[in-house]
Amino acid sequence: MKLLFLNGPNLNMLGIREPGIYGRQTYEDLEKYIRGFCDELGIACQILQSNHEGALVDAIQSAYGRMDGIVINPAAYTHTSVALLDALKAVSLPAVEVHLSDVSSREDFRQVSYVRLACCKTIAGHGFQGYRMAAEHLLAEKNGASQVGKE
């Protein structure tokens, strides 16, 4: 299984940005965490963070035919980006939306997610562990799908 982990704007500022909400762990800590559980689960991973919407769209498009799924934390683009939604719909790869914080308990504008419309699941409020939960979900979906018709 090959997964693309995409992280949107300001996630490179983890550990500095609003530590009361996002904690003190850094983006490098997040990358290390993702690589660690992917190795443990036998998942090949590619990890990308960008503050630029177009770079995220390009990464989603480049996943077509190369990746089995996408774990995406669109950050602020969650609430604004039809472009990310359209890219996810275009590649038709299973995708899970992840948020470090519980966005449902935050500001009103954070209640809208365009990206969610193209995702099979949303995981929010579990910190770094949400990424593992997303990967495990996609792995289970793939394994379940591969078992169909084999019984």
For residue 137 the two structure tokens come to 């979900």
Residue 99 has phi, psi (to 5 degrees) of: -135, 135
Say which of 52, 77, 79, 99 is annotated catalytic.
99
Are the beta carbons of 141 and 94 closer than 8 angstroms? yes
Tell me, what amino acid is at 53? E
- Count CA atoms within 13 Å of residue 96 on its CB side: 24
Say which of 22, 33, 79, 137 is annotated catalytic.
22
Q: Give how far the C-alpha of residue 47 lies from the chain's centroid of Cα atoms, to the nearest Å.
A: 10
Give the burial class of 140: count Cβ atoms within 10 A of its Cβ; 0-12 exposed, 13-18 middle, 19 or more buried: exposed
109 DSSP 8-state letter: G
User: Is 99 tagged catalytic?
Assistant: yes
User: Is 52 tagged catalytic?
Assistant: no
Positions marked active-site? 22, 99
